[in-house]
Amino acid sequence: MRKRTLVKWILVLVVIIAGIGSYTTRSKRATNQQSITAVGSTALQPLVEAASEQYSAEHSGIFINVQGGGSGTGLSQIESGAVQMGNSDLFAQEKAGIDPQHLVDHKIAVVGVAPIVNKKVGVTRLTTSQLIAIFTGKVKNWRAVGGKNIPITLINRTQGSGTRVTFEKYALKGHSSAVAQEQDSSGTVRQIVSSTPGAVSYVSFSYINKDVQPISIDGVSPTERNVMLNHWKIWAYEHIYTNGKPTGLTKKFLNYLQTKHIQTTLFNKLGYISVKDMHYQRTWKGQLSKESGVA
Amino acid sequence: MQNQKLAKQLMKKSKTARYERFGRLLCLSALLLIMVIVIGIIAFIATKGMSTFMKDHISMKDFFTGTIWNPGAKTPSGHAAVGALPMIVGSFLVTILAAILSTPFAIGTAVYMTEISPKRGAKILQPVTELLVGIPSVVYGFIGLSVVVPFVRNTFGGSGFGILSGTFVLFVMILPTIVSMTVDSLKSVPTYYRQASLALGATKWQTIWKVVLRAASPGILTAVVFGMARAFGEALAVQMVIGNASLMPHNLVSPASTLTSVLTAGMGNTVMGSLQNDALWSLALVLLAMSLFFNLLVHFIGKKGAFSK
Amino acid sequence: MNRMQKQSQVAMGLLRAIAGFVVLILAFLIGYIFITGLPNISWKFLTSPAKAFSAGGGIGIQLFNSFYLLILAMLISLPIALGASIYLNEYAKDNWFTSTIRTAIEILSSLPSVVVGLFGFLLFVVQYNFGFSIISGALTLTIFNLPLLTRNIEEALASVADDQRQGGLGLGLSKYETIIHIVVPAALPGIISGIILCSGRVFGEAAALIYTAGQSAPALNFADWNPFNIDSPLSPLRPAETLAVHIWKINSEGIMPDLTKVSSGSAAVLVLAILIFNLSARYIGRKVFEKMTSMD
């Protein structure tokens, strides 16, 4: 019995010593290590994550923690000051319950949003009024817009999702979509549209692939070039918000995201459009002006 | 002098008694910690969920009877659009249908495992059902999306998304739970019941139907209610196949939604403290109240049919 | 053969058919997961880090995170569950207080894991400022895991025959000594298989972790095992996406071209891991039981 007690105490001692030892010998990097956190939009997450990995690789001792959680989470976390960067698909002004006063907007990229349909409906182009009729539930069969005799299955993104707000604002000209199926992620939307006859929905350009049919509106096809020239009206900014002016590492990282290197490599891969390439800029109320808005 | 010392020694608690007290306290504090967690969660969700009604002044009637869910907006008739009825109905429908569908299968399987072929049951069926309990709901949802939804679309029409697909996925998900709990309650029926019944000349089927199942019925009922509780709270799998349309379900193949599907989908898109967010917490409160209700039901059944061994 | 016997035989046949049908469903499920998933599993897939938008990503870090989180969660929850179940089974009298506690534990066990996850998010991530981290995830998993574990251990304790307790008390041991030195060792096989079954459930849990342990798996430095360094695999303050969360994430937001491959491969790995847990639960339980009951 005595022996066992002794062994127990030795074990406890070893653990304590190991703990202190590892604390004091933690790498020198750790002591001057800096870490910042970005939370929010799942659409922006892969870009910021990839950029942060490259940044950490180039600057040792830097740790950038990137999390999803949705634009609402991003904005409420940045407003409360719990994180350094809040990623959002929407302007803070567009989101209920946010006081945008102290938030500083950094427009990181532009994404185009396009309607997609199942490949078998036989429609590749629509007019704006046809699109509105489809999404408000006035037209119920693809035959009415020149397609095959297949009933229309509407699929929406969740209420409050950035893609849905953008789509309703600029594609449906402010009409809200009829109550229908809702999915909370672009990947699921794409999978459902590709496998459900007569399905129609909308995704950002990066999710368009050969499984679904993108739709041209009023003769304009959804390409990056058309977005830059504002011929294709359905686009939105991806924002990173900071609480007050960014300082230190946050500032450096935001600058890094604007460098040519990042904008030409990562942006292309992800289907994002650089803000610098835009010929127009837009305010949160939708007012256009002819300039990219980047100094 | 000697006496006093002895008395003192006797009055003092022995080392063992102190050890005993210490151990008992240690266990009690662990239990109390769990209590604190439970009370914390309940209080937390209750305050969050009630703020829709207290802070945002939404009437309970609008919440429980309204059919339009678009928090922040108004319905055409001027009420706040926080009608949770479609979700509540959707949750109940999938839960009850899944329970109805899986109960006969679960009981049949459990009877097979305990009464007909205990050996094969223990060797094949039990490990497999235990394995199924551990499969993450995401995987169920994924299979539901690629197998069940097309099957429902081709067989029953519609888009394939709806109550029926949700029911099928939940059916498979709660089957293992109900089976393993039913097996436990069948096993607790004393063997001499069966022997007595067979000795009276009853056939095997009569023994199972009239004696074993009767005796085990409270346990089986508890198993079914437990399965229903699991179905009610299931989120990710149902969300992928039910379509998430906050519409009153017209039929079993039209898109519908459940409390959990709306809750998970919306949480990230809303801002803490806004009406949209509070309304979601109210849904969580409804879920909590339901799991409370299911638990009380289980207790009630257990008390009523308490089976003395 | 009379009518009754015929009826009995028909019913037996029906029961066999039902059991067969259920086996068929289960076999289909497992077969589907393995057939679509196993061809994608390779050593490289199991060890390399995930890629966000190009093909060829693996699940190495996610796999490590899953195990690490599981171990941490178990380390925290096991002592609590053990203490609570000892009290419930050995000390507690059958009164309203005990039954209230039991009801409370059951409510906790039937609470949707989403709700537990959001509670963990607001408490650990936001309130205590642990951020999206392993420690937040482990604490949330503890809440999620406690009721079931307590129940399993209590069942294992209850199955120990009263003779053993009387024997211990008769030898002059105190109640607590009897429990620690006689009842718990006797219940050990049951306790171990209970732990391992709970591990399976924790291992596959996604909804509770999405908002607590986070959805990103930053690169780790596997040469650095000092828990105070943030890129060390052991650091409790780093965000950690687990395998189940990874499956959920790539299915909902993934844009890599080999998405279906990664997702079905991950699912197969997950089911395989749970299969191993279950088999080892049986094996260890049996071995321990043999050892405890052997004569020498």
Instruction: Indicate which of A80, A117, A182 best probes the interface with B, i.e. most B CBs within 10 Å of its own CB.
Output: A182
Say if residue C94 is in the same domain as residue C220.
yes
At a CB cut-off of 8 Å and minimum separation 6, what does B109 contact? B125, B175, B179, C18, C19, C22
Per the structure block, which two tokens stand in for A126? 């629509």
Nearest-angstrom CA–CA distance, C237 and B146: 37
Contact A64, A40 (CB under 8 A): no
Residues in chain C within 8 Å Cβ distance of A80: 126
Q: With CA atoms as reference, report the closest residue to A239 among A125, A74, A60.
A: A74
Same domain? A186 vs A42: no
- A24 CA to chain C: closest CA distance, Å? 9
- Chain B residues within 8 A of A181 when measuring between CB atoms: 159, 161, 243-245, 255
Over range A142-156, report the average pLDDT.
Answer: 89
Verify that C146 and C254 share a domain, yes or no.
yes
When CB atoms are compared, the residue of C107, C206, C278 closest to B38 is C107
Q: Which residues of B touch A (CB under 8 A)?
A: 68, 70, 72, 145-146, 149-150, 153, 159-161, 239-240, 243-247, 255, 257, 264-277
Tell me which range, A22-36, A59-73, B193-207, is most confidently predicted by mean pLDDT: B193-207
Determine the pLDDT at residue A215.
92
Q: Do A63 and C230 touch (CB under 8 A)?
A: yes
Q: Token pair of B123, please?
A: 């060797």
- The whole-chain average pLDDT of chain B stands at 83
The whole-angstrom separation of Cα A43 and Cα A90 is 11
- Enclosing domain of residue A155: 112-228
B135 and C29: CB-CB below 8 Å? yes
By residue range, what is the domain housing residue B215? 82-305
Looking at residue B158, its amino acid is G
With vertex at residue C175, the alpha carbon angle to CA C174 and CA C176, rounded to the nearest 5 degrees, is 95
C286/C266: higher pLDDT: C266
- Tell me, yes or no, if A278 comes closer than 8 A to chain B by beta carbon: no
Q: Answer yes or no: is A205 within a domain.
A: yes
**In chain C, which residues have their Cβ closer than 8 Å to the Cβ of B134?**
197, 200-201, 203-204, 271, 274, 277-278
For residue A32, tell me if it sits in a domain: no
% of chain C beyond a pLDDT of 90: 5
Q: Each residue of A78-90: pLDDT tens digit?
A: 888 778 899 988 8
Average per-residue pLDDT in chain C?
Answer: 82
CB contact under 8 A, A67 and C215: yes
Give yes or no: residues C175 and C225 share one domain. yes
Domain count, chain B: 1
Q: Are residues C33 and C54 in the same domain?
A: no
Which pLDDT band, with edges at 50, 70 and 90, does C81 fall under? very high
Do residues A116 and A215 lie in contact, with contact meaning Cβ atoms separated by under 8 Å?
A: yes
User: Is residue B98 included in any domain, yes or no?
Assistant: yes
Name the band, by pLDDT with cuts 50, 70 and 90, for residue C111.
confident
Q: How many angstroms separate the CA atoms of C19 and C27, rounded? A: 12
User: Helix B259-267 vs helix B275-304: angle between axes, to the nearest 10 degrees?
Assistant: 150
- In chain B, what residues touch A179 (CB-CB under 8 Å)? 68, 245-247
Residues of A in contact with C231 (CB under 8 A): 63
Q: In this structure, are C66 and C102 located in the same domain?
A: yes
- Chain A residues inside the 8 Å CB shell of B265: 158, 182-184
- Termini Cα distance of chain B: 58
The answer to whether residues A191 and A261 belong to one domain is: no
Together in a domain, C22 and C110: no
The answer to whether position A6 is within a domain reads no
C76, C115, C141, C179: best to mutate for the B interface, most B CBs within 10 A: C115
Residue A139: how many other CB atoms lie within 10 Å: 16
Q: Which residues contact B228 (CB under 8 A, 6 or more apart)?
A: B95, B96, B98, B99, B174, B294
Do residues A222 and A144 both lie within one domain? yes
User: Mind listing the pLDDT tens digit for each residue in A199-208?
Assistant: 999 998 888 8
Same domain, A70 and A131: no
Say which range, A79-83, B160-164, C231-235, has the weakest mean pLDDT: C231-235
Interface test mutation site (partner C, options A15, A27, A238, max chain C beta carbons within 10 A) = A27
Check if A54 contacts C (Cβ < 8 Å): no
Contact B72, A98 (CB under 8 A): no
* Encoded amino acid at B113, one letter: M
Cβ-based contacts of A162 with chain C (< 8 Å):
none
A160 interface with B at CB cutoff 8 Å = yes
In this complex, do C53 and A270 lie within 8 Å of one another by their Cβ atoms? yes
Q: What is the pLDDT of residues A223-273, one digit of tens each?
A: 888 998 889 989 989 899 998 888 888 888 888 888 877 787 778 777 788
Chains in contact with A, counting 3 or more C-beta pairs less than 8 Å apart as contact: B, C
Confidence of residue C296 (pLDDT cuts 50, 70, 90): very low
Q: Tell me which chain A residues have a C-beta less than 8 angstroms from the C-beta of C215.
A: 42, 45, 67-69
Of A205, A228, A251, the residue that ends a domain is A228
Helix pair angle (B126-134, C3-37), 10° resolution = 40
Whether B46 maps to a domain, the answer reads: no
Task: Specify if A11 maps to a domain.
Answer: no
CB B124 within 8 A of CB B203: no
Q: How far from the centroid of its chain's Cα atoms is residue C95's Cα?
A: 31
Measured between beta carbons, the chain C residues lying within 8 angstroms of B261 are none
Please indicate, yes or no, whether residues C150 and C256 belong to a single structural domain of this protein: yes
Are A157 and A244 found together in one domain?
A: no
H/E stretch holding C18: helix C3-37
What residue of B is the nearest CA neighbor of C6? B203
pLDDT per residue as tens digits for the range A5-49: 788 888 888 888 877 776 666 655 444 567 788 888 877 887 888
Residue B203 lies in a domain: yes
C247, C124: one domain? yes
Cβ distance B133 to C21 less than 8 Å, yes or no, reads no
b/e per residue C135-153 (b: at least 16 CB within 10 A) = bbbbbbbbbbbbbbbbbbb
Average pLDDT on C270-274 reads 85
Q: How high is the pLDDT of residue B222?
A: 82
Confidence label for B72 from pLDDT (cuts 50, 70 and 90): low
A-chain CB neighbours of B150 within 8 Å are: 195
pLDDT for A117 beyond 90: yes
Count of other CB atoms within 10 angstroms of residue A13: 10
Inter-chain touch C228–A30, beta carbons under 8 Å: yes
Selecting from C11, C87, C278 the residue whose C-beta is nearest the C-beta of B27 gives: C87
Q: In this complex, is the C-beta atom of A32 within 8 Å of any C-beta atom belonging to chain C?
A: no
Q: Report the residue of chain B nearest A187, measured CA to CA.
A: B240
Indicate whether A214 pLDDT > 90.
yes
| pLDDT category of residue A132 using cuts at 50, 70 and 90 | very high
Residues A188, A121 share a domain = yes
Confidence of residue B78 (pLDDT cuts 50, 70, 90): low
Chain A CB within 8 Å of residue C239 CB: yes
- Nearest CB to B240: which of A72, A180, A188? A188
Residues A87 and A100: their CA atoms lie apart, in Å, by 14
Partner C contacted by A77 (CB < 8 A): yes
Residues C205 and C257 in one domain: yes
H-only helix segments in chain B: 2-11, 15-54, 60-65, 85-111, 118-120, 126-134, 137-143, 149-156, 163-187, 191-199, 204-206, 213-233, 236-242, 259-267, 275-304
Asked if C248 reaches chain A (Cβ–Cβ under 8 Å), the answer is no
Residue pLDDT, tens place only, B85-109: 888 888 888 999 999 999 999 999 9
- For residue B38, give the nearest of C16, C80, C104 by CB distance: C104
For residues A203 and A286, membership in a common domain is answered with no
Q: Which residue reads 């590492």 in tokens?
A: A249
Q: How many domains does chain A have?
A: 2
Q: At what angle do helices C113-120 and B259-267 cross, to 10 degrees?
A: 30
Q: Could you tell me the CATH number of the domain that includes residue A189? A: 3.40.190.10
Mean pLDDT of A92-116: 86
Here the CATH number for the domain that contains residue B249 is 1.10.3720.10
Q: Is B22 within a domain?
A: no
Q: Which of C132, A39, A96, A67 has the alpha carbon at shortest distance from B273?
A: A96
The CA distance from C189 to C208, in Å, is 29
B131 vs C30: CB contact, 8 Å cut-off? yes
Partner residue facing C228 (CB), from A26, A35, A53: A26
Residues A117 and A204 in one domain: yes
In this structure, what token pair is assigned to residue C270?
């997950």
Per-residue pLDDT band at A118 (split at 50, 70, 90): very high
* CB-based contact, A97 to chain C, within 8 Å: no
Identify all chain A residues contacting C252, using CB atoms and an 8 Å cutoff.
42, 184-188
Number of domains in chain C: 2
Q: Are residues A41 and A135 in the same domain?
A: no
Would you say residue B125 lies in a domain? yes
Q: pLDDT (tens digit, 9 = 90+) per residue, A150-194?
A: 889 888 888 778 888 889 989 998 888 888 888 877 888 888 888
Nearest 5°: CA angle at A45, between A43 and A51? 130
pLDDT band at B304 (very low <50, low <70, confident <90, very high): low
- Considering the domain architecture, whether residues A251 and A220 belong to the same structural domain is answered as no
Instruction: Tell me: do A159 and A261 sit in the same domain.
Output: no
Q: What pLDDT does residue B169 have? A: 92
Residues A123 and A90 in one domain: no
Q: Please count the residue pairs, one from chain B and one from chain C, whose beta carbons lie less than 8 angstroms apart.
A: 237
Q: Which residues of C touch A23 (CB under 8 A)?
A: 228
**Dist. CA C257–CA C213, nearest whole Å:** 26
pLDDT at A116 over 90: yes
Kindly state whether residues C34 and C130 are assigned to the same domain.
no
Q: What is the greatest pairwise CA distance in chain C?
A: 79
Q: Do residue C5 and residue C77 come from a single domain? A: no
Cβ <8 Å between A181 and B274: no
- Amino acid A201: pLDDT: 93
Name the nearest CA neighbour of A116 among A180, A178, A208.
Answer: A208
Residue C85 domain boundaries: 45-293
In terms of domains, do C36 and C65 share one?
A: no
Last residue of a domain, one of A174, A195, A228: A228
Ordered DSSP codes for B121-172: IIIIIHHHHHHHHHS-HHHHHHHIIIIIHHHHHHHH-S-S-SHHHHHHHHHH
- Over residues A217-227, the mean pLDDT reads 90
Q: Would you say residue B122 has pLDDT above 50?
A: yes
